[in-house]
Structure 1
Amino acid sequence: MIEVYTDGASSGNPGASGIGIYIKQGEKHQTFSIPIGHYSNHEAEFLAVLNALKICRDQFPGEILSFRSDSKAVVDVLEKEYTKNPKFIPFLKEALEEIRHFPYFFIKWIPEKQNKVADKLAREAIHKES
């Protein structure tokens, strides 16, 4: 099973944004700090999950994925596979398309204090863009 921690951050809402992805596979781990442009905080959180799914599809095809995020909005939308928010619908559709490539996908909300690595990576990504 692959454990994936994601976080999105914005400097302003919307503003310069970045995503952080921390992937654990047993004793190995990978980190990604990616500037993504100008987004709201919620959009950055969704983009963190989408980018992590694409990385996993490339590097860990067919694996079981266990995602963790400190964004209740993202976790709720993906767990329910539904949103009324028109801004979230394209993110949900793309995420569901990516998730279909894996036998099992789990996502769990975690408190910010348990997501420090991904948070640090997301904030570093904002500074890379500046």
Structure 2
Amino acid sequence: MIEVFTDGASYGNPGPSGAGVYIKHEQQHYRYSFFLGDFSNHVAEFQAVIKALMICKDKFPTDILSFRSDSRIVVDTIEKNYSKNKLFIPLLHQISEHASDFPHFFIKWIPEKQNRQADTLARQAIQHQTNRQYS
């Protein structure tokens, strides 16, 4: 089973955004930072899950995926496979499409303090792109 931690960050809402993906597979740890452009924090959180699924499709195409996110909106939307927010619906469809390629895909909410690796990676993506500190 692959453990995947995702986080999105935004400097402003909307503003420059980043996605962080931290993957644990056996004794290996993988870290990814992506600058996303200008998005709201919530959209950045969804984008982080999409980026992580794309990485897993490339690196672990037949594995069981256990995702963790500190975004209740993302976790609830994916678990219910429903959103009233029109901005989230196409993102949910992308997630569902990518997740269907795996034998099992799970997502669970975790507190921010358990998601520090992914949070740091998301913030680094913004810092590297904008050359400004984000805390």
What TM-score do you get using the length of structure 1 for normalisation?
0.99
Match of 1:85, SS? coil
| Structure 1 CA distance for aligned equivalents of residues 47 and 16 of structure 2 | 13
CA deviations over 1:43-62 (Å, ceiling 9, x no partner) = 00000000000000011001
User: Which ranges of structure 2 fall in alignment gaps of 5 or more residues?
Assistant: 131-135
Deviation at 1:26, TM superposition (A): 1.0
**Structure 2 equivalent of residue 95 of structure 1:** 95
Deviation at 1:129, TM superposition (A): 1.1
| Structure 2 CA distance for aligned equivalents of residues 99 and 93 of structure 1 | 10
CA deviations over 1:41-85 (Å, ceiling 9, x no partner) = 000000000000000001100100000000000000000111111
Computed over aligned residues only, the root mean square deviation of the Cα atoms, in angstroms, reads 0.4
**Structure 2 equivalent of residue 77 of structure 1:** 77
CA deviations over 1:21-56 (Å, ceiling 9, x no partner) = 000001101000111110000000000000000000
Code of the residue aligned with 2:36 in structure 1: it is I
| Structure 1 CA distance for aligned equivalents of residues 2 and 47 of structure 2 | 19
**Structure 2 equivalent of residue 112 of structure 1:** 112
| Structure 2 CA distance for aligned equivalents of residues 82 and 103 of structure 1 | 21
**Structure 1 equivalent of residue 133 of structure 2:** none
Deviation at 1:128, TM superposition (A): 1.2
| Structure 2 CA distance for aligned equivalents of residues 22 and 40 of structure 1 | 21
What TM-score do you get using the length of structure 2 for normalisation?
0.95
| Structure 2 CA distance for aligned equivalents of residues 78 and 62 of structure 1 | 21
User: Which ranges of structure 1 fall in alignment gaps of 5 or more residues?
Assistant: none
